[in-house]
Structure 1
Amino acid sequence: MANQIVHVPNGAAALDYFFNDKRRPDQHDKTVILLDLNLPEIDGFEILRRLKADEHTKNIPVIVLTTTDNPKDIDECYALGCNVYMTKPVGYEAFADAIRKLGLMLNVVKVPHNQG
């Protein structure tokens, strides 16, 4: 199957995507999550907390990609189990460069398979 990007509009939709009873746990074996902390309805901290607390989703790599560089937020994300924390650059060119670098990193980094 080809790589696929799934975009969800808010935190509630993200939780529904990962914890919908109809979805099999093995459907997330090759998943990598790009998570913004500033989501409507349910924030990224709560999503990260729930993902890492659940047996079926705890091994999914989570890359926090957000606008804040507050050290308290960074520390909390790593304490909750995020794998990488990136601050979104403001300008388009800097953002595009950061995404290119993220793509290169994802090509060489080995991620765990879910233990389901």
Structure 2
Amino acid sequence: MAELKPILLVEDNPNDLELTLTALERSMLANEVITTRDGVEALDWLLSRGPHANRDPGDPAVVLLDLKLPKVDGLQVLERIKSDADLRHIPVVMLTASKEERDLVRSYELGVNAFVVKPVDFKEFFKAIQDVGMFWAILNEPHPPRSRSTPMKVTKG
């Protein structure tokens, strides 16, 4: 059986963080949930640097990324993930209260895998988080692992 990858949750709002963690827990997912509170901490975790330099190796099953974050915003984190050859295969779900079309368009331009607007209604929010967690952590077939030290071979045909 494949090892369960963690879910990386990047959320600065304490209420949204608590609700999201509760919803994921009630989904009965066995995946560990790693939480970071801003874009810098999320990138430090993903890149195994700074306070996360000695973390267990491996990528998350999915990054649940808030759009409006302190220090480095969600779009900047997304851009960094999708521009890095070692990280771009990681699914990123933008989880935001923003309904602005420019945020949606920019997220997809940068390579987001899904854009979920946080419902205002408590029950809807819970259901949305549970569905997102189940899909990306259980149902989605992830990119096959590859060594970060081994470059991908490109063949011309």
Same fold by TM-score greater than 0.5: yes
| SS at 1:7 equivalent | strand
Equivalent position amino acid for 1:20 in 2: S
Pairing partner for 2:39 from 5, 8, 11: 11
For normalisation by structure 1, the TM-score amounts to: 0.86
For normalisation by structure 2, the TM-score amounts to: 0.65
Counterpart of 2:78 in structure 1 is: 48
Counterpart of 2:141 in structure 1 is: 110
Instruction: Verify: 1:92 aligned to 2:122, yes or no.
Output: yes
Q: Does the 8 Å contact 2:61/2:142 carry over to 1?
A: no
User: In 1, distance between residues paired with 2:40 and 2:104?
Assistant: 22
Q: 1:55 to 1:73 in 2, by over 3 A?
A: same
Equivalent position amino acid for 1:111 in 2: P
Pairing partner for 1:27 from 40, 45, 58: 58
If you compute each CA radius of gyration, which structure gives the higher value, 1 or 2? 2
The CA RMSD measured in Å over matched residues stands at 2.1
| SS at 1:14 equivalent | helix
Displaced runs of 4 or more, over 3 A: 21-24
Q: 1:54 to 1:98 in 2, by over 3 A?
A: same
Q: 1:35 to 1:89 in 2, by over 3 A?
A: same
| SS at 1:69 equivalent | coil
Identical aligned residues as a percent: 32
Number of paired residues?
Answer: 115
User: In 2, distance between residues paired with 1:78 and 1:46?
Assistant: 13
Shift of 1:111: 2.5
| Greater relative contact order (CA < 8 Å, ≥ 6 in sequence) | 1
Counterpart of 2:106 in structure 1 is: 76
Q: Does the 8 Å contact 1:59/1:113 carry over to 2?
A: no
Shift of 1:102: 1.8
